[in-house]
């Protein structure tokens, strides 16, 4: 980080790493022939394990960077300009999440497919941002020490009680809402428990902000992250089974049987520690641009791979058909393509948005002129229709 700069380069680099990991993970998982998914193969096992780290890192970093920007403002509560921007961002992510699942051919035929209502990463991150904002605004009326306690408590509650609420069907809710809480209908992500990673990211951000001026900040942060990560990855399961044996509370045994949330949180801490260790070398301009354009990359990858809007994507043509050699080089080309297109869009974003605004303005003006021209015709047509209806129903005297 440059002297006097408040930008966290290692966070931007983590975002870039996470989005690239997501690209290759989605590509390989969707196109690799199942015959090559050998659980006895150490290479495949390592790939599958690291692929599982991507989403927790992405959610945690999203919560971290948004909260970091939110609490930097001197204004509090609704007076904070970041609140309005955050609300707009959260709603934007929800909207884009739904648009990416829209099929235009189905829409033109008057049908909205069930997949439109499924919940994915963007929905959850958008809702997580709105949740963080709500908590921030409510807690701004109280002592500043309350905010990190709330964020940490939400994470612990969501992670600890996951074995219980994952069994709930949420069938009392409309399917479109139930999809935010259960995977039973096909949702890839759900707000519970994934909100927990965003709130723990917010918690880390508050600690980082509080001690940012400390000269040994990174020394302590790296040490704590490394130790915490090792403990969660290697010893959290033993802790829960020991707690179950000591208390007899069944929930702790259920956590230990599928302890992915705490183990993945440990992985997140280890990733944080590694990026903080090498933070002085993580200032490459291209990597930082990738990290700041993750939304564009995500949208482009969704269109190319899954065929958003048209249904014509690589997934539809090559689903589970490629061998390992082809899928590896294909994934590399896919990452380069999506990143290149996103960075090109970033360069021309203002001109593209300007052209779109001009197009809408032109259509609005032309539409107004057409309506003005047709107004006498429409009035005459309306009068004729009215007279026909009057005669048809014998309402005239």
In this predicted structure, the answer to whether residue 20 has a pLDDT above a threshold of 90 is yes
Q: Are residues 367 and 252 in the same domain?
A: no
Q: Are residues 344 and 356 in the same domain?
A: no
In this predicted structure, the answer to whether residue 208 has a pLDDT above a threshold of 60 is yes
- Kindly report, residue by residue over 262-304, the tens digit of the pLDDT: 999 999 999 999 999 998 888 888 889 999 899 999 999 999 9
Q: Are residues 207 and 266 in the same domain?
A: yes
3 part of a folded domain: no
Q: Please give the average per-residue pLDDT across 46-68, as a whole number.
A: 94
Distance CA 332, CA 78 (A): 44
122 part of a folded domain: yes
Q: Are residues 258 and 397 in the same domain?
A: no
In this predicted structure, the answer to whether residue 169 has a pLDDT above a threshold of 80 is yes
pTM given for the model: 0.86
2 part of a folded domain: no
User: For the chain, where are the alpha helices, taking DSSP H only?
Assistant: 9-31, 42-72, 81-99, 104-108, 121-139, 146-160, 162-165, 175-178, 191-210, 217-247, 250-257, 260-277, 285-291, 294-306, 314-318, 324-347, 349-392
Q: Are residues 25 and 138 in the same domain?
A: yes
4 part of a folded domain: no
Distance CA 309, CA 367 (A): 26
1 part of a folded domain: no
Q: Are residues 272 and 373 in the same domain?
A: no
Q: Are residues 253 and 293 in the same domain?
A: yes
- Kindly report, residue by residue over 76-115, the tens digit of the pLDDT: 888 899 999 999 999 999 999 999 988 887 777 777 788 8
Q: Are residues 295 and 364 in the same domain?
A: no
Domain count, the chain: 2
Domain extent at residue 185: 9-349
In this predicted structure, the answer to whether residue 4 has a pLDDT above a threshold of 60 is no
- Kindly report, residue by residue over 330-370, the tens digit of the pLDDT: 999 999 999 999 999 888 777 766 666 666 676 677 667 77
Q: Are residues 239 and 320 in the same domain?
A: yes
Q: Which two tokens stand for residue 306?
A: 């899954």
Q: Are residues 345 and 367 in the same domain?
A: no
Q: Are residues 234 and 289 in the same domain?
A: yes
316 part of a folded domain: yes
Q: Are residues 230 and 185 in the same domain?
A: yes
22 part of a folded domain: yes
In this predicted structure, the answer to whether residue 131 has a pLDDT above a threshold of 80 is yes
Where is average pLDDT lowest: 12-21, 28-37, 209-218?
209-218
């Amino acid at each position: 980080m440059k002297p006097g700069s408040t930008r966290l380069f290692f966070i931007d680099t983590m975002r870039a790493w996470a989005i690239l990991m997501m690209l290759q993970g989605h590509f390989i998982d969707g196109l690799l022939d199942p015959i090559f998914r050998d659980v006895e193969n150490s290479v495949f096992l390592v790939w599958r394990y690291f692929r599982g780290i991507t989403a927790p890192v992405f959610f945690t970093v999203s919560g971290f960077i948004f909260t970091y920007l939110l609490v930097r403002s001197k204004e509090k509560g609704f007076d904070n300009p970041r609140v309005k921007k955050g609300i707009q961002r959260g709603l934007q992510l929800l909207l884009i999440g739904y648009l990416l699942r829209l099929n235009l051919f189905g829409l033109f035929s008057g049908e909205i497919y069930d997949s439109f209502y499924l919940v994915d990463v963007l929905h959850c991150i958008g809702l997580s941002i709105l949740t963080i904002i709500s908590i921030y605004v409510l807690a701004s009326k109280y002592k500043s020490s309350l905010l990190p306690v709330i964020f940490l408590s939400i994470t612990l509650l969501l992670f600890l009680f996951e074995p219980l609420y994952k069994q709930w069907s949420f069938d009392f809710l409309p399917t479109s809402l139930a999809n935010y809480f259960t995977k039973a209908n096909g949702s890839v992500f759900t707000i519970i428990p994934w909100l927990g990673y965003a709130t723990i990211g917010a918690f880390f951000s508050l600690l980082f902000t509080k001690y940012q001026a400390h000269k040994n900040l990174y020394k302590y942060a790296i040490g704590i992250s490394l130790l915490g990560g090792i403990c969660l990855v290697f010893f959290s399961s033993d802790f829960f089974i020991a707690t179950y044996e000591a208390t007899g509370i069944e929930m702790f045994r259920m956590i230990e049987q599928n302890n992915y949330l705490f183990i993945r949180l440990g992985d997140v801490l280890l990733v944080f520690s590694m990026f903080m260790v090498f933070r002085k070398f993580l200032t490459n301009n291209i990597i930082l641009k990738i990290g700041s354009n993750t939304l564009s990359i995500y949208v482009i990858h969704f269109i190319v791979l899954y065929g958003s809007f048209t249904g014509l994507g690589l997934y539809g043509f090559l689903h589970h058909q490629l061998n390992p050699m082809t899928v590896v080089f294909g994934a590399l080309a896919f990452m380069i393509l999506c990143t290149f297109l996103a960075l090109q869009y970033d360069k021309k974003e203002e001109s593209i948005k300007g052209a779109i605004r001009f197009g809408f303005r032109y259509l609005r003006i032309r539409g107004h002129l057409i309506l003005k021209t047709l107004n006498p015709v429409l009035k005459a047509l309306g009068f004729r229709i009215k007279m026909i209806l009057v005669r048809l129903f014998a309402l005239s005297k």
